Amino acid sequence: MHEGEVFVPDIEEYTIIGDTRLRYDTVPCMRRLIFFHLAKTGGITLRRIAERHLPEGYAFYNLSLNQADSKELEEFRALPETKKEKIAVLAGHMPFGMDKELSGPSDYITMLRNPLDIVVSEYYYLHNSPLKDWHRAIADFKAMSLGDFARSGFNITTNHQTRVLARIWSTFLERSVPVDEAAFSRAKESLRRDFLCVGITERFDESLLVMKRRLGWRSIYYFRENKTPGRRPTKSIAPGDRDAILERNHIDLALWKFANELLDKEIEDYGPNFMRDLRHFQRRNFWYQKARRVALLARGLMFRLKKLTHLHA
């Protein structure tokens, strides 16, 4: 690239119809990727990157069981085997062990996040998304403060990451059951044994670079998606609310620190070129994000122009 030249990565874009991209041609067996999406960890962005690497003829399937009355699991289990065989990427909020529902080998990946940020982000996400069916499970949520939410006892507010990784499955807004030292040990062992890659949201770029190496991904450029609107910075949280969140998530905090250690080990195994590759990726992704913003702005202007033209036709 010449001095002063703007770099825009050549990224192939895919169009996803609904939750799945379904083309069921006859293709050989391959290792399936299961993205075990823990809530508010940057998972939508990571899903888009995984979708970008679908082999021809394979499908992406989104299975997000965050509703107490969800029928998605039954619908997934009822899929014909011919369609299940063509799922290359299964992603979403789900119980651990979904690989048993599918034939062939699978690799798990996941991302963890500081539980303080998860609870804060989920609170503001719910506050700004009143039309979601599963938000209506909280009576008078609009009147609930962050502190009230932190003390509510919902799964998402109380050691949720440890609970799910320890195979104690329940949806976000069910009342939580206690998580003990044995569950913490199971969750740690699961991260160490069952996951090919364990990323950290606060170290997203580092995590992506490790996943690229492990999974053979070609392109990991991204534009952050599903950012929580109206969220206050974590540092502005009242001390009492902060204490309430951390008190109820001390096991998750320890698990997050353990996951950071696993990522540190992956970076060590990557070798001495890691920091060089990371800086190289971040420079290029900076220009990719700028190009995407310009493209989105142009698309929005075109939409408004067409609407005005239609109104005055």
Average pLDDT of the residues in 166-174: 83
Q: Is residue 307 part of a domain?
A: yes
Q: What is the pLDDT of residues 199-216, one digit of tens each?
A: 999 999 999 999 999 999
Q: Is residue 253 part of a domain?
A: yes
List the structure tokens of 255.
């698990």
Q: Is residue 23 part of a domain?
A: no
Can you tell me the distance from the alpha carbon of 19 to that of 31, in angstroms, rounded to the nearest whole number?
21
Q: Is residue 216 part of a domain?
A: yes
Q: Can you give the pLDDT at residue 311?
A: 61
3-state per-residue secondary structure call for the chain: CCCCCCCCCCCCCCCCECCEECCCCCCCCCCEEEEECCCCCCHHHHHHHHHHCCCCCCEEEECCCCCCCCCHHHHHHCCCHHHHCCEEEEEECCCCCHHHHCCCCEEEEEEECCHHHHHHHHHHHHHCCCCCHHHHHCCCHHHCCHHHHHCCCEHHHCCHHHHHHCCCCCCCCCECCCCCHHHHHHHHHHHHHHEEEEEEHHHHHHHHHHHHHHHCCCCCCCCCCCCCCCCCCHHHCCHHHHHHHHHCCHHHHHHHHHHHHHHHHHHHHHCCCHHHHHHHHHHHHHHHHHHHHHHHHHHHHHHHHHHHHHHCC
Q: Is residue 196 part of a domain?
A: yes
Q: What is the pLDDT of residues 117-136, one digit of tens each?
A: 999 998 888 877 755 555 56
Asked if residues 252 and 161 have their Cβ atoms less than 8 Å apart, the reply is yes
**What is the extent of the structural domain holding 106?**
32-113+180-228+249-311
Q: Is residue 174 part of a domain?
A: no
Is the pLDDT score of 24 beyond 70?
no
As a whole-number percent, the residues of the chain with pLDDT over 90 amount to 58
Tally of structural domains, the chain: 1
Q: Is residue 10 part of a domain?
A: no
Q: Is residue 267 part of a domain?
A: yes
Q: Can you give the pLDDT at residue 92?
A: 93
Contacts of 24 by beta carbon, 8 Å cutoff, 6+ apart: 57, 59, 82, 83, 86
Q: Band of the pLDDT at 73, cuts 50, 70, 90?
A: confident
Buried b (16+ CB within 10 A) or exposed e, 163-195: bbbbebebbbbeebeebeeebbebbbebbeebb
Give φ, ψ of 33 to 5 degrees.
-105, 125
